């Protein structure tokens, strides 16, 4: 080791929140499974009226457009099919009905394991959830999420 390298601390990695991209330092955040992500009306209501998804939701609700509905289905599949756990920051975790202490503990284990730790019931939501519960959440996300908010927008 060179003279100037002595005493330097190795920089710990940082990662982005999987939902909105804010930077999380080593050890921060909450670790959620795909099942926990998709089981939130608040999440879906917000997701389906974001600028990136608003046009699909308008097409789905206002014009009964098949393409809008297909795009909403693809959005649902993106979130339900992820095998790896989701790292979520403080600004996003309140959308989900989860034990925050447990999710924070799982995140610490994930960081400490060099991103190898998987919380219980990890994997895609379709594999880890009861089939009827999965279908109920899919139905909500694809067919209903954001409808009320769109109506209020005019």
Q: Which of the four pLDDT bands, split at 50, 70 and 90, describes residue 125?
A: very high
What is the 3-state secondary structure of 70-96?
A: HHHHHHHHHHHCCCCCEEECHHHHCCC
Whether 121 maps to a domain, the answer reads yes
Cα gap 123→29, rounded to integer Å = 19
Q: Which residue in this structure is represented by tokens 């920051």?
A: 89
Whether the per-residue pLDDT at 1 is higher than 50: the answer is no
Domain coverage including residue 19: 15-153
Query: What's residue 5's pLDDT?
Result: 52
Tell me the whole-structure pTM to 2 decimals. Answer: 0.90
Whether 91 maps to a domain, the answer reads yes
Whether 7 maps to a domain, the answer reads no
The two structure tokens encoding residue 102: 């447990």
Whether 28 maps to a domain, the answer reads yes
Whether the per-residue pLDDT at 9 is higher than 90: the answer is no
Mean pLDDT of the chain: 94
Whether the per-residue pLDDT at 74 is higher than 60: the answer is yes
Contact partners, residue 103, CB within 8 Å, separation at least 6: 30, 31, 32, 36, 88, 93, 119
Q: Summarize the confidence of residues 63-74 as an average pLDDT.
A: 97
Whether 80 maps to a domain, the answer reads yes
Cα gap 142→147, rounded to integer Å = 10
User: Residue 47, class by beta-carbon neighbours within 10 Å (0-12 exposed, 13-18 middle, 19+ buried)?
Assistant: buried
Whether 1 maps to a domain, the answer reads no
Q: Which of the four pLDDT bands, split at 50, 70 and 90, describes residue 24?
A: very high
Whether 2 maps to a domain, the answer reads no
Contact partners, residue 4, CB within 8 Å, separation at least 6: none
pLDDT tens digits, one per residue of 77-102 = 999 999 999 999 999 999 999 999 99
Whether 10 maps to a domain, the answer reads no
Tell me what percent of the residues of the chain surpass a pLDDT of 90. Answer: 90
The domain total for the chain is 1
Query: Would you say the C-alpha torsion 53, 56, 61, 67 has a positive or negative sign?
Result: negative
Query: What's residue 6's pLDDT?
Result: 57
């Amino acid at each position: 080791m060179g003279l100037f390298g002595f005493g330097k601390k190795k920089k710990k990695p940082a990662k982005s929140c999987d939902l909105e991209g804010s930077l999380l330092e080593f050890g921060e955040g909450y670790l959620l499974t795909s099942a926990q992500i998709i089981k939130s009306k608040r999440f879906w209501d917000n997701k389906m009226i974001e600028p990136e998804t608003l046009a699909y939701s308008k097409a789905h609700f206002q014009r009964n457009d098949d393409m809008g509905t297909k795009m909403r289905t693809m959005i649902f599949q993106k979130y339900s099919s992820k095998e790896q756990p989701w790292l979520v920051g403080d600004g996003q975790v309140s959308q989900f009905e989860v034990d925050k202490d447990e999710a924070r503990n799982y995140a610490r284990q994930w960081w400490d394991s060099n991103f190898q730790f998987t919380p219980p019931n990890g994997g895609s939501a379709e594999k880890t959830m009861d089939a009827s519960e999965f279908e109920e959440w899919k139905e909500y996300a694809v067919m209903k999420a954001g409808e009320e908010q769109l109506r209020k927008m005019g």
